[in-house]
Structure 1
Amino acid sequence: MSIVGPKETAVRVAWRDDAPDWVLALAREVDAGQKQASLAKRLGYCPAVISGVLKNDYRGNLAQVEARVRAALMSERVTCPALGEITGQECLEQQRKPLAPDSGWAVKLWQACQACPRNLQNKEGGA
């Protein structure tokens, strides 16, 4: 049996023992010594978002937060239409890249990324 840290315990209480696996992964990162501000930066959010998710009172787009947590903390692998199988973190990094018109391949990659349903930039609220 694994030891449950204080943040994970607080999350289980806030979520009434119904916390999704990705929220627990976020709590475990905090329990392992990761500062919420550092996690927020890594995920592309402000610390208030991380705090709200952990407390189960975030009213924003949880699906987007989940996608970022799975990509950055849970080693999710995805199929990119241009690159094939990549990590979720690589996918997020590609999404954030601006168009680089100096390379034909970079343009094709950017276009594929823009059309991809995984691209959080294309969804309400942005990435």
Structure 2
Amino acid sequence: MTEVTAAPNEWLDALRAECQRTGSQATVARALGYSPAVINQVLRGTYGGNVERVREVVEGALLGITVDCPILGDIPRDACLRHQDREFAATNPSRVQLYYACRSGCLNSHLPKEY
């Protein structure tokens, strides 16, 4: 499957538009799982962290970009990243499967292959 991506600055335009729509960078930051400072710095072009990760979260949450998860099927890119961040917990079979899939060479994962 070919990965779908947004146009180069479409994600920044979407982030700006969402901040204008809500009237608050803080509201958008909370919805995306970032601090208001991160969103402000990204919009100003001064963020020193992982801008690519912010881009992927924005593309999933605001632009509807999806990835093909080997466990869940078609999911938003930001959801994929959240699954990668989760610690192991044997709370249900899907969570266990996701944990191992994200660490077993999944093409969408940014994590090193462990299994």
TM range (shorter): 0.7 to 0.9
Distance change (3 Å), C-alpha of 1:42 and 1:99: same
- Out of 103, 108, 112, the residue aligned to residue 118 of structure 1 is 108
Distance change (3 Å), C-alpha of 1:40 and 1:117: farther
Q: Distance in 1 between matches of 2:109 and 2:30?
A: 19
Equivalent position of 1:60 in the other structure:
49
Equivalent position of 1:80 in the other structure:
69
Q: Residue 71 of structure 1 contacts residue 92 of structure 1 at CA under 8 Å; is this kept in 2?
A: no
State the TM-score, normalizing by the size of structure 2: 0.74
After TM superposition, the runs of 4+ consecutive aligned structure 1 residues lying more than 6 A away are: none
Deviates more, 1:37-46 or 1:21-30: 37-46
Q: Residue 75 of structure 1 contacts residue 89 of structure 1 at CA under 8 Å; is this kept in 2?
A: no
Q: CA RMSD in A?
A: 2.3
- After superposition, give the CA deviation of every residue in 1:73-125 in whole Å (9 maximum; x if it has no partner): 111111112222222243234234332325444322210023335345x38xx
Q: Which runs of 5+ in 1 are unaligned?
A: 1-18
Q: Which runs of 5+ in 2 are unaligned?
A: 1-7
Equivalent position of 2:3 in the other structure:
none
Corresponding pairs, count? 104
- Out of 66, 76, 86, the residue aligned to residue 97 of structure 1 is 86
State the TM-score, normalizing by the size of structure 1: 0.68
Q: Distance in 1 between matches of 2:73 and 2:21?
A: 32
Secondary structure of 1:100's partner?
coil
**Percent of paired sites with the same residue:** 37
Task: Please identify the structure whose Cα radius of gyration is greater.
Answer: 1
Equivalent position of 1:3 in the other structure:
none
